[in-house]
Amino acid sequence: MKRDLLSIGDLSRADCEAIFTLAKTLKAAARARRKHRRLEGRAMAMIFEKPSLRTRVTFEIGIAQLGGTAVYLAPNDIRLGERESVADIARNLSRWVDLIVARTFSHDSVRGLAANATVPVINALSDWEHPCQVLADCFTLIEKRRRLRGLRLAFVGDGNNMVHSWMLAASVLGIEFRLACPAGYEPDPRIVAAARDAPGSRVSVTRSVEEAVRGVDALYTDVWTSMGQEAEETRRREAFRGYQINAETLALAERGALVMHCLPAHRGDEITDDVLDGPQSVVLDQAENRLHVQKAVMVWLSRRK
């Protein structure tokens, strides 16, 4: 049976660990310039309804390093669900490619692709989740702190797609996750309930940045206005005032706490330059690890066909 990666909820702890182990091997091989052409001759379609730097480059380079090839489909190339239905696109692509990566506005579109494709589908960000980013983030934490279980991470900002994937990942991997967000910008209650349902999970939501951040091992933030929410920017800028990671916020965390951001950053909004570019920031390690972790995801899913 083929498997997809649409949500962190699709993965067990053992699945995540298998992906991290594979990513470590692939990263070491890439650093040593050893070839790992485990997807020789495979093809991958990359459907993007939104812009991307990291996700597009890392998937495209990643499959090439593994011996495969990618076809990038920009928003106007196929007009998902508009020129042709999501189901028909999935059925056609399945006859030509071995993997589908999709960045969509609606999570239903990624789900529709997965339901109709006979090949694995990877969510490269939807309005609901960003699982590839959070897997790379967790891999970065393992590299920096040698473990995940028992780590405390505070997310300051919007209860958005990043928070959804983080809450699910934290609950499955034993990380304490604390979100500080303004009223009206909480994560979807179904995600909070699912995360809290996991045995031993520690997931909290507060209005207070100070309460969330005090004593944590890592601080995370993301833009106040995600792609597709541009019309709400003025209202959001007002609502999120104070939900910023700056030197004062950082001082409340554990000494040497890691500073994380999925990027792109809106400098001066959710995070200040000094913190984003400071010695505790690991944002470029996170960005690099997108490559290694997604290579692992591609290989891991391809084995399960």
Residue type, 37: R
Q: Is 133 an active-site residue?
A: yes
Query: Exposure string (b/e) for 161-192, b if CB count within 10 Å is 16 or more?
Result: bbbbbbbbbbbbbbbbbbbbbbeebbbeeebb
Q: Is 285 an active-site residue?
A: no
Please identify, using beta-carbon distances, which residue of 78 and 124 lies nearer to ligand CP.
124
53 binds ligand CP (CB under 6 A): yes
Q: Which of these segments, 144-152, 219-227, 253-261, 268-276, binds ligand NVA (CB under 6 A)?
A: 219-227
Taking CB under 6 A as the criterion, the residue among 29, 87, 227, 252 binding ligand NVA is 227
State whether the Cα torsion 43-49-55-58 is positive or negative: positive
129 binds ligand NVA (CB under 6 A): no
User: What radius of gyration, in Å, describes the C-alpha atoms of the chain?
Assistant: 19
Q: Is 267 an active-site residue?
A: no
> Distance (Å, rounded) from C-alpha 104 to C-alpha 13?
26
* End-to-end Cα spacing for the chain: 6
Residue 278, contacted partner among ligand NVA, ligand CP, none, CB below 5-8 A by kind: none
Angle, to 10 degrees, between the axis of helix 131-145 and the axis of helix 283-303?
120
Helix (H) / strand (E) element for 189: namely: helix 189-197
Please identify, using beta-carbon distances, which residue of 134 and 180 lies nearer to ligand CP.
134
Least Cβ distance, residue 144 to ligand NVA (angstroms):
21
Residue with tokens 């890592």: 218
167 binds ligand NVA (CB under 6 A): no
Residue with tokens 């200040």: 272
Please identify, using beta-carbon distances, which residue of 4 and 222 lies nearer to ligand NVA.
222
Q: Is 103 an active-site residue?
A: yes
**Residues whose CB falls within 8 Å of the CB of residue 232, separated by 6 or more in sequence, listed in order:** 225
Residue 162, contacted partner among ligand NVA, ligand CP, none, CB below 5-8 A by kind: ligand NVA
Interface mask (CB under 6 A) for ligand CP, residues 254-283, using x and -?
Answer: --------xxx-------------------
Tokens of 29: 């091989």
Enzyme catalytic residues: 103, 130, 133, 222, 262, 290
Give the residues lining the site for ligand NVA (CB under 6 A).
125, 130, 160-162, 222-223, 226-227, 262
